[in-house]
A and B are shown apart, each in its own frame.
Chain A
Amino acid sequence: MKQPSLALVAIAVAAVLSAGVAQAKPFKWASQADVASWDIHAQNNGLHNAIHPYVYETLVTYNSKTFAVEPLLATSWKEVSPKQMRFALRQGVKFQDGSSFTADDAVFSITRAMAKTSNYGPFVQGIEKVVKVDDGTIDIFMVDPNPVLLRQMTELRMMSKAWSEKNKSTEPMDIKKADENFAHRNAMGTGPFILESWQPDVRMVLKKNPNWWGQMPGNVSSITYTPIKSAPTRMAALLSGEVDMILDPTPQDLNRLRASPDLKILEGLENRTIFFGMDQFRDELPGSSVKGKNPLKEQKVRQALYQSIDIQAITKTILRGLGKPTGTLVAPQVNGWTETVGQRLPYNQDAAKKLLVEAGYPDGFEVDFACPNNRYISDEAICQAVTAMWAKIGVKAKLRTLPMVTYFPMIQRNEASIYMLGWGVPTFDSLYSLQSLVRSVGKGGDGNYNVGRYSNERMDYLVDRVKTETDQPVRTRMLTEGLQLSNDTVSHLPLYDQVIPWAMKKNIDLVHRADNRIDIKLVTVR
Chain B
Amino acid sequence: MFAFILRRLIQAVIVMIAVAFISFMLFQYVGDPVTFLLGQDATPQQIAELRSALGLDKPFFVQFWHFLVNAAQGEFGISLRQGAKVSSLIAERFPATFELAMVAALLALVVGVPMGVYAALRRGSFMSQMFMTLSLLGVSLPTFLIGILLILIFSVHLGWFPSFGRGTTMQLGFWSTGLLSAKGWHHIILPAITLAIFQLTLIMRLVRAEMLEVLRTDYIKFAKARGLSNRTIYFGHALKNTLVPVMTITGLQLGGLIAFAIITETVFQWPGMGLLFIQAVTFADIPVMAAYLCLIALIFVVINLVVDLLYFAVDPRLRVEKSGGH
Contact = CB atoms under 8 A, between A and B. Distances in A.
B279 interface: yes
A412 B84 contact: no
B80 interface: yes
B269 A233 contact: yes
A229 B53 contact: no
A448 B278 CA distance: 30
B53 A405 contact: no
B84 A200 contact: yes
A232 to B, nearest CB: 5
A176 B29 CA distance: 21
Q: Is the interface of A mostly helix, strand, loop or mixed?
A: loop
B203 interface: no
Contact of B269 (A36, A228, A404, A432): A228
Interface stretch (A177-185, A206-214, A301-309, A502-510): A177-185
Contacts of B75: 178
A173 interface: yes
Interface stretch (B126-134, B160-168, B220-228): B160-168
A121 B84 contact: no
A201 B276 contact: yes
Given A201-B275, A230-B269, A409-B34, A236 B40 contact: no
Interface stretch (A41-49, A160-168, A355-363, A470-478): A41-49
Contacts of A286: none
B325 interface: no
B77 A178 contact: yes
Nearest to A424: B40
Contacts of A409: 31-32, 34-35
Interface stretch (B43-51, B99-107, B117-125): B43-51
A426 B40 CA distance: 10
Contacts of A230: 266-267, 269
Contacts of A200: 82, 84
Which of A42, A178, A226, A374 has the most CB atoms of chain B within a 10 A radius of its CB? Answer: A178
Contacts of A346: none
B40 A449 contact: yes
B23 interface: no
A109 interface: no
Contacts of A179: 78, 85
B155 A236 contact: yes
Interface in B21-48: 29-47
Contacts of B45: 444
B151 interface: yes
B249 to A, nearest CB: 30
A423 B40 contact: yes
Contacts, number: 150
A233 B34 CA distance: 29
Contacts of A227: 269
Contact of B83 (A45, A184, A448): A184
B237 interface: no
A406 B37 contact: no
A45 B36 contact: yes
Contacts of A449: 40
A232 B83 contact: no
Interface string B160-180: 001111100000000000000
B234 interface: no
A403 interface: yes
Contacts of A374: 282
Interface in A214-247: 226-230, 232-233, 236-237, 239-242
Contact of A240 (B156, B279, B282): B156
B37 A43 contact: yes
B37 A405 contact: no
B139 interface: no
A175 B29 contact: no
B284 interface: yes
A1 interface: no
Interface in A180-203: 180, 184, 199-203
A405 B82 contact: no
Given A37-B83, A233-B268, A122 B163 contact: no
A200 to B, nearest CB: 5
A202 B38 contact: no
Q: Which 4 A-B pairs have CB atoms at the shortest separation, nearest pair first?
A: A406-B31, A405-B31, A44-B39, A122-B41
Given A201-B275, A226-B165, 12 more contacts: A44-B39, A121-B41, A200-B82, A228-B269, A233-B269, A236-B148, A236-B152, A236-B155, A237-B164, A240-B159, A241-B159, A412-B35
26 contacts: A39-B83, A43-B38, A44-B38, A44-B39, A176-B54, A180-B83, A200-B84, A201-B275, A201-B276, A229-B279, A233-B148, A233-B268, A240-B156, A242-B155, A403-B282, A405-B31, A405-B32, A405-B35, A405-B284, A406-B31, A408-B35, A409-B32, A412-B35, A412-B47, A448-B43, A449-B40
